Structure 1
C-alpha cells in the first residue's frame, strides 16, 4: 500500500514536471498514469482502455458543447471587431491612466460574457500591451492583470458565469449556475479589491526601482502568437459603427442564461426525462449546462444576424472556432482520465478515507479536496472533475445529512478550484506567459499572488464565515 501511495506521488511529480517542460497534457497524463500503475502493480492495457479512455470520453461527452460554442463565440467576437471595440470603449470610459483597471474590466466582461478563457487571453494581450505602453507600466505585470480578469472571480465566483468551472459542480450537486449568489458576489469583491491593490502597489514599487514598460525585452510575442495558432485568418469585416452593439452578445449570454435557469426551465414539463433513454437524469443535473449552452448559441446567432452581409466570412470563422476548441477540451479530458486511473488504484482509497476521516464538514472537505486535485493537475476544471467524480456523491450525502446548503457548497467548491490550479506547471499559466512573450521568472510572482493568494484567502475567509453562520 505504501508503494502505491509513493507511485501516486511520483506520477503527480512527473505530470507537473512534464507540463512545466512544455510537454502537452495529452501526452503527459497517460505517461504519468503508467507510473502510478507500475507502483500499484495494476494491469496497464486494461486500465488504459477501460478506465482512462472512458473517463476522458465522458468528460468530452458532457462538456465539449461548452468548449465548442465558447470557442466559436470567441472567434466571432474577435473577427467582427466586437472584442476590440469593447476594450476601446472601456478604456475610453476609465481613462488612459487606468490601464490596469481597464484591462481587468475588459477581460472580465469577455469572460463573464461567455468567451473561452484562452480566447480572451489571445484577444486581450495586444490591447493590454498598448495600454501599458501608454501608461508606462512595466510589461511584467501584463499577465497578472489579464489573469485577474479571466482566471479568478469571473471564472468561478460570479454567479451565472458561463465558464465550465461554474457548471461542473451543478452536475454533481443538482444546482444551477447562479447558486450561492451572495457568497459569490462577496468573494468576487474580495478578489478584485485585493488584486487591484496588489497590481497598483507593484506598479509603484517597480517604478521606484527604475523599471518601465520597455525595461523587459520584447520576447517576440507576435511569432509566438502565430506559432500557437491564436491569430485568426484574414477577414474583411468593417469595424462596428456603434459602441453599444458589441456589448449585446455578452448581455445576451447573461440574460438568456439567467432566464433559463430561474424562469424558463423550471416552468417547463421535464417528466419525459424519466425515460430510460435519457439515463435517468433530472433537470437539476443538467440545468446549468443547458442554460449556458442556450445562452451562448443565442449570442452566436445574434452575431450572425447582425453581420448577415458577411455570412461567408463568419461561416469560415465558425469553422476556425470549432478547430480551436479541440486542444483545450482534450487536454482537460486527458487530465480527467489520469485522475480516474489514480482513483482506481487501491492506494487511493487510503487517501480518500483519510480526507473523510479528518473530521471536517462537507464544505471544508469539498474545498480541500478540490483545491489539492486542482493544484496537482494544474487545472481548475480537470481537478474539480477528478475530485467530484471520486467523492461527489459522498460529499452531497454528507451535506444533506448536515443540513448544509448545496448551493453554498457549489459556489465554494467552484471557487476552490480556481486557487492552486495556477501553480507553475498549469497549462493556462504557461499559455498566458507565452502569449505575452514573458517567462516565469519575469512574471510568475505577480501572477501567483493574483491567482493563488487572493482566491485562496477569499475562500478561506468565506468558509469561516459560513461555519460561523454569517451566510
Structure 2
C-alpha cells in the first residue's frame, strides 16, 4: 500500500505541476497525501516539520549561495548589456547563413559562462525571432534551438560549468566541477553535433514543404526586448566576466586550493570537509569575482544598479525554494516503507555496473519532478552513500559517477510538466503542441544518447 501511495502522489504531482500549480504548495501536499495513504497519518505533523522542512532547509543551506550568486551574476550580465552584446556579436560574425547555429552558440556561451538559462531565454528570444523571420524559418523551431544551447551540454556535460546541476554531486562524491573532463567534452560534442544535425534536418524539411516563419501574434513587450538600455559594449569586453567564471573556477580548483593546507578549517569546524567543499567554494568565488568586476567596470553606465542587484537577489529565491521543496518531498517519500522496494529495485538494476543503476535513478527522479536539480538532489540525498560505496567496491572513479549523475539528471528533466519547458514556451509564445516535439528531441533523446556513450566509454576505459 505504501508503494501504491508513492506512485499516486507522484502522478498527481506531475499532473498538477503540468496544470500550472506551484511546487511550493504541491510538494508538501503530495507528501502529506503519500503519508496518509500509507497509513501513517498519525505522523503527518512530524513528517512535515522534521523530515520535509529538515531536508528543505538542509538543501537551502548548502546550495543557496550558488543560486543567489548565479541569479545575481545573470541579472548583472543582462542589465549591463553584456548578454545582448555577446548575442549581437555572434550574429554579426555568423550572419544569417547559419541561423540555428547562431542561436545555439549564443545560448551556449552565456550559459557556460554562468548566466541563468531563464535570463538567456529572455535575452536570446528577440534576436532568434528576427533571424528566423528574416530567413523564413518556422518559428516553432526557436524553442528547440534555445533549449539545445541552454538545457543540455553546457548544463551537464562541459567540464567546469557553474550550473547547479554540476555542483550538486560535489559534496557527495568529493569531486569538483571539472569531474571527468574528457568524457564530459565527448558527451557535449555528441549533444551539440546530433542536436544541430536534427534541427538542420527540420529546417530543410520545412523548406521542402514551403513552410515559412508563420503568422504569429507576438507578445506586446517584444518590441522593447531588443533595446539595449546601456551604451553598447564591445564583444571582447562582454566576454571577460564569462572567461573569469570559468578561468577562476579552474584556477582555484586545480592550483590554489590543492596547494593550501586547509586542515585548520576541519579543526575549527568539525562538520566541514575542505576536500568535499572546495569544488563548490571555487564556483562561488568565481561568480562573486565576476559579479564585482561587472559592477565596477560598468560603474558609470548603470541605469539603476540598486534595482539590478535587488532584482538578481530576489530572483534567486523562487528557484531555490522550488527545488528545495521538491527535495523535501523526496525526503518524505524516502522515509516511507514503500520506498524500500523502489530503492532496492533501482540499486539492483545492474549489480555489476553501478553506473547504469545510478543513471536510472537520476533519470527517473528527474523525470518525476520535472527538474534535473531536484531529481539529482533527491537521488543523491537518499542513495548517494550507497552509490559511492558501490563505486569504490567496483573500482570506479567518483569523477565518473559525478559526470554520469549530471548527464542522467539532464535527460528526463524536460518532460511536458517541466517548469523550464513551460517557461521557455511561454517566452516564445508557442504551445506544447507547436514546439515541444523538437524540444524533447534535443533535451531528452539526444542527451540520453550522450549518457549511453559516456557509460560505455567509462566502463571500458575508466574516467578521463
TM interval, short-chain normalised: over 0.9
What are the Cα deviations for residues 181-236 of structure 1, in whole angstroms up to 9, with x where unaligned? 00000000000011001101011112222321124x23x4346999xxxx89x995
What are the Cα deviations for residues 76-109 of structure 1, in whole angstroms up to 9, with x where unaligned? 1111111111001111112212111011101001
- Compute the displacement of 1:290 (Å): 0.8
Residue ranges of structure 1 left out of the alignment (5+ in a row): none
SS in 2 for 1:238: coil
Matched, 1:349 2:347: no
What are the Cα deviations for residues 52-93 of structure 1, in whole angstroms up to 9, with x where unaligned? 111111111111111111111111111111111100111111
- Compute the displacement of 1:286 (Å): 1.1
SS in 2 for 1:295: helix
SS in 2 for 1:12: helix
Q: Which residue of 2 aligns with 1:143?
A: 143
What are the Cα deviations for residues 376-433 of structure 1, in whole angstroms up to 9, with x where unaligned? 1110000000000001011101111111011111111111110000011111111111
Q: Which residue of 2 aligns with 1:371?
A: 363
SS in 2 for 1:400: helix
- Compute the displacement of 1:466 (Å): 2.1
- The answer to whether the 8 Å contact 1:235/1:313 transfers is no
More deviation in 184-193 or 300-309? Answer: 300-309
Matching of residues 288-367 of structure 1 within 5 Å: 288-310=279-301, 313-358=304-349, 359-367=351-359
Cα distance between partner residues in 1 of 2:139 and 2:279:
38
What are the Cα deviations for residues 130-163 of structure 1, in whole angstroms up to 9, with x where unaligned? 1211221101011110000110000000000000
More deviation in 453-462 or 172-181? Answer: 453-462
Q: Which residue of 1 aligns with 2:21?
A: 23
Could you state the TM-score of these two structures normalised by the residue count of structure 2?
Answer: 0.95
Matching of residues 222-261 of structure 1 within 5 Å: 222=220, 237-240=230-233, 242-261=234-253
Could you state the TM-score of these two structures normalised by the residue count of structure 1?
Answer: 0.94
Please provide the CA RMSD for this pair. 1.9
Residue ranges of structure 2 left out of the alignment (5+ in a row): none
Which of 14, 33, 36 pairs up with 1:35? 33
Q: Which residue of 1 aligns with 2:74?
A: 74
- Compute the displacement of 1:322 (Å): 0.8
What are the Cα deviations for residues 102-132 of structure 1, in whole angstroms up to 9, with x where unaligned? 1110100110001112211121111211121
SS in 1 for 2:448: helix
Q: Which residue of 2 aligns with 1:467?
A: 459
- Compute the displacement of 1:281 (Å): 2.3
Cα distance between partner residues in 2 of 1:167 and 1:222:
37
Cα distance between partner residues in 1 of 2:52 and 2:270:
22
- Compute the displacement of 1:267 (Å): 1.1
What are the Cα deviations for residues 233-290 of structure 1, in whole angstroms up to 9, with x where unaligned? x9953222x22100101011011001010001111121122236x3422222112211
